[in-house]
Structure 1
């Protein structure tokens, strides 16, 4: 496995980032520990490496972004994963969110519709350390039924409404975390599958790129 060089200043900045996320209300120590270990700069264009620990989103190409670390922490905390929790992620992007969840020990099945982004993460040597991380080039609205049911589903782009087709890929009492709404700001939600339907919970407002159907070459 190829090693990476984590500069001392990156470690200092990452610890400072984690402290800032904690001050914003994230208190799941599993999430904070994972973010403190995953080198965010490796998931960003080289020209942005010095901004890797600024708590904001940055472009990664193909009209997509690497999510703000606070947003990654927020969704990860709502997802409430333990080692072995089976998660389907819709929207691999840079694979930073997937790496954080894999660092927490979850079994991650992540789907990306942009072929160039999908191919790019295959070349990221750092990710080879996670045997619990599985990639798919596909349509997120279709999910990954071959590996269903999932304990959790995470959507990292915003559908205009809840994609109930994906709820069927959840195990009973499993839940899906996603931002819902049109362009601008969306409401973070958690949808739990129950025998008699679903339980809907609403949380804070965020801004995500839209979730789009199909695959893109």
Structure 2
């Protein structure tokens, strides 16, 4: 296949990818533009690289997954990120979600319990010149109190309830999106809005994420 054919094939896959996102409810123009700019293929390694543009979760290292693109889009859309916002992501994984957030926010902080995933994500961020992301290896269930408060918080692992330490790190007027469920089979994506008087909750859709685990992994 010559270079022109390769480019045409890539453009066609990208067009199908964006159409798939729209058909599943990702309609925010800024989010779609961000997802068009960030090549998911850069975050899918090895055997599954051919499937990077499918709307499906895929395995990555450390027993984790890169989320389904439409779910990434819907979670990002629910955050309603403003250009000056500081965003905290819990669960770096491949780094794909953080890269999308980086197109919309002033600063993204992302934390993962797996050091290997953080190292690999940082390499990808550098290769894509994404300079407004800071990645940490650590216990995401505690958030980043030293950097708090945050305008937006995104949790990409399921907790039994919205985690208290993270809710405390949310600004008044801030939004957190988090999957909540007691098993990996029954989970609901929740949007939490912090108000002057407390918190308001909105159920968005059913989802399936890996569990939010306390502590830092050995690798």
Mapped to 2, the partners of 1:166 and 1:18 lie a distance apart of: 32
Q: For residue 208 of structure 2, what is the aligned residue in structure 1? A: 207
Aligned ranges 1:60-139 → 2 under 5 Å: 60-124=60-124, 126=126, 129-139=129-139
SS for the counterpart of 1:158 is coil
2:57–2:66 Cα contact (<8 Å) kept:
yes
Mapped to 2, the partners of 1:15 and 1:40 lie a distance apart of: 13
Mapped to 2, the partners of 1:25 and 1:115 lie a distance apart of: 34
For residue 8 of structure 1, report the CA deviation from its aligned partner.
Answer: 4.1
SS for the counterpart of 1:98 is helix
Matched, 1:149 2:144: no
Give aligned pairs, total: 212
Mapped to 1, the partners of 2:9 and 2:106 lie a distance apart of: 29
> What are structure 1's unaligned runs of at least 5 residues?
1-5
For residue 116 of structure 1, report the CA deviation from its aligned partner.
Answer: 1.2
**CA 1:125–1:81 in structure 2 vs 1: closer, same or farther (change >3 Å)?**
closer
1:99–1:127 Cα contact (<8 Å) kept:
no
SS for the counterpart of 1:88 is strand
Mapped to 2, the partners of 1:128 and 1:134 lie a distance apart of: 14
Q: For residue 191 of structure 1, what is the aligned residue in structure 2? A: 192
CA offset digits 1:81-114 (Å, max 9, x no partner)? 1222110000000000000111224410000111
For residue 128 of structure 1, report the CA deviation from its aligned partner.
Answer: 5.2
2:189–2:203 Cα contact (<8 Å) kept:
yes
Root-mean-square deviation (Å): 1.5
TM-score by length of 1: 0.93
Matched, 1:48 2:48: yes
Q: For residue 58 of structure 1, what is the aligned residue in structure 2? A: 58
Q: For residue 3 of structure 2, what is the aligned residue in structure 1? A: none
Mapped to 1, the partners of 2:29 and 2:44 lie a distance apart of: 25
Mapped to 2, the partners of 1:154 and 1:109 lie a distance apart of: 10
> What are structure 2's unaligned runs of at least 5 residues?
1-5
